[in-house]
Structure 1
Amino acid sequence: MDKIDLSEVCQNYRARVIRVTPLDDCYLLETNRGPKELHVWPRVDVMRWSFAWRERLARLGFRELERFIRTRDSKPFVIVGKQGVTMTDHLRNVATYQPQMDTTFQCGRVVAMMHQSQQESNLLAGVDYLQQEQLKSETEWTRAKALVESYRSKFRKEKGEKRWVGSLMEPMLQRMERSTTMLSNDSITADTIGVSHRDLFRDNWGMVGGKLYLRGFFRPVLSVQQRDVASYLRDIYLKNQDLREIDSFLDGYEEVKPLSYGDYTLLLAFMARPREIWKSVESYVKRVSVNEDVPIAGIEQALNSQQSIDALLRHIADRAERPRSEEVHEPL
């Protein structure tokens, strides 16, 4: 937790603080105006951006989210040195959100509204974050090729588990190459690239009074909006493996913010990364190279997840090929 003078910060607000409890990601305040949360932002520009999209989203009609409480001077945040501090209401009774057909459509609409609100800001440039994703993908692919070459030179003549792991490496490299290539596809245009949170998950939703509630994003790692959607679709599909929920979410999203062919290309590029397989294979190789006894259960589990993701990839690729008011592109 960042070191700040809490008493000085709290004096900026109308609430009288009774007790302060440090949590993992914020301070929980008991005040005469109810429980509050105090969040410290390492980047002031991200805090300003977050305030702007929250207010725009509320003006669009969705108010079930954490908004910044204003100070005595009507400011939405406090600047302390090079950091920012915000106060929000703390909700005690937030029920766990379980994706279902009747809520995923609304989730899609809200996420699209959030992305529209974020894209209206000029504080952060989406193209910069896409370039970061492209560089990261290329770097990781290069690292994977070096690791595979090292493994093959050392264990080429091995049998059993080591040979089986080796057989997984070429398909893994092909997936990484495909993902890297798609991230630079010509169908992706700068005007469709907006900044959002790198990963949106089910944990960012709750149920309050029977209504969907959007929560979190107080210390966000940022990326492009298409990664936001890709992460969420992966998350809900691995939970229930119901393609109808995927279509429901995307139908809701596209009702507000239609997806272009380039948007779908980016979605598939992020989903195509064999994240679980690469992570488990890399861990296996590092440990087996120093003669550690390494179980392959993690790799087997990663393969099962990848099979599910492959079904999701095919479904979204088919959806992307539906007739749309754009020029014909090479099939994804």
Structure 2
Amino acid sequence: MTQYLLHDRIKENYDLNIEKWDHYQGSYKLYTNRGIKLVKVWNDNETLSSAFHLREQLAYSGFRTIDRFIRTTSGEPYILNGDEYMVITDWIDGRIPQVTNKDDLKRVSKQIAKLHIGLAKIRVDQDWEPWSKQFDHGLQHLHQIKDKIITKGKKNSFDEAILTHIDSQIEQIKQSILMADKVEKNHFRSGRIPQWCHGNLDLKWFRIDQFDVPWLIHFGIPVYDIPAYDVAKFLVHLYLKANYQEEPVFQFLNTYQEFIPLEKEEKLWILTYITFPHHLWKFLYIRYLSRFSQTRFANEQQYFQLIDLQKHHERLYRSLYRYFQL
């Protein structure tokens, strides 16, 4: 779409006068007579409609600091241009929170807790595969990879390195499956059910505005899971961003639990997620089993970096085990 056509479509459907714009990959920043707006391009109507309705339900449940879609003058949440769908949101001006800033981390922790409280109010009718089953897929993949390398005629140093470590990774996954299976039985016996979760929480998805209010600016299609999944992924993210320092992790948990105290099973969910070797499994799967093998993107150096990363995860596990007093 040319800028002139874009200008006409937006003026026609949103009654906005564009003074100037900046073009980014897949989006436009618009300076209009009604403030700065952001135009995003979507290719799939089904996911776009789901994202819109979930945003609206989330706002209705009380969580409003999110980039909601602005409706057109006819009440539609998007406009269609050929095969593309375009949505407009307000431009959330602000800074990315910093892991070293305690006030930033406290604001984001509260925001994530409030997000989970809002998401819990949205009714869900969807199947869910327990973690123990998901982990079992990973176990089967590692067995396939091991067999594939063993039967390989000429092995290189990378193959030998994987064979050296893969048995310990298989054992770790087996332990994760046992942990997940035990937690699932206790968790669901108490009446807890999965709900919508963000799925990929990251500090860069937040903006803290001039009034120190944190906004969530990246909310695509959430995942259906245990909310502790979000917490676990975000703890790993914080631990990495803080160069493996524990204090930001504990600070997040202290603030989060002011709003949502974690029960024993939820703490065990978090530990179970952290101990599962996700990165190693995905790395090996992409190299050996994916339809389009990515061997040139998966080298020996990366593999050993992921082994070191898993060791950091194990240290985080031990620290959290003590913190949770389990």
Scaled to the shorter chain, the TM-score interval is 0.7 to 0.9
Cα deviation digits, residues 66-121 of structure 1 (max 9, x gap): 23435446x58247599976422114x53232113333233222111101101101
Q: Which amino acid aligns with 2:232?
A: A
Gaps of 5+ in 1: 323-332
TM-score, structure 2 as length reference:
0.78
CA contact (8 A) 2:50 2:221 kept: no
Which stretch of the first structure deviates more once superposed, 113-122 or 274-283?
274-283
Cα deviation for residue 55 of structure 1 reads 4.6
Distance, in Å, in 1 between the alignment partners of 2:179 and 2:147 is 24
1:26–1:295 CA distance, 2 compared to 1 (3 A): closer
Cα deviation digits, residues 211-254 of structure 1 (max 9, x gap): 25333334335242322222111111012122221111111111
> For 1:214, what is the secondary structure of its paired residue?
strand
Which stretch of the first structure deviates more once superposed, 256-265 or 19-28?
19-28
Cα deviation digits, residues 234-281 of structure 1 (max 9, x gap): 111012122221111111111111222222232223222212222344
Residue number in structure 2 paired with 1:264: 267
Cα deviation for residue 50 of structure 1 reads 1.8
What percent of counterpart residues are identical?
18
Cα deviation for residue 134 of structure 1 reads 5.3
Q: How many pairs align?
A: 308
Where do 4+ consecutive residues of structure 1 move more than 6 Å? 81-84, 157-160
Residue number in structure 2 paired with 1:253: 256
CA contact (8 A) 1:119 1:195 kept: yes
Residue number in structure 1 paired with 2:99: 99
Q: Which amino acid aligns with 1:304?
A: D
> For 1:237, what is the secondary structure of its paired residue?
helix
Matches within 5 A, 1:226-237: 226-237=228-239
Task: State which of 44, 48, 55 in structure 1 corresponds to 2:53.
Answer: 48
1:158–1:28 CA distance, 2 compared to 1 (3 A): closer
> For 1:11, what is the secondary structure of its paired residue?
helix
Matches within 5 A, 1:236-247: 236-240=238-242, 241-247=244-250
Q: Does 1:138 align with 2:136?
A: yes
> For 1:121, what is the secondary structure of its paired residue?
coil
Matches within 5 A, 1:303-314: 303-314=307-318
Cα deviation for residue 286 of structure 1 reads 7.2
Q: Which amino acid aligns with 2:235?
A: L
Task: State which of 247, 267, 281 in structure 2 corresponds to 1:278.
Answer: 281
Q: Does 1:150 align with 2:155?
A: no
> For 2:201, what is the secondary structure of its paired residue?
coil
**What value does the CA root-mean-square deviation take over the aligned residues?**
3.7
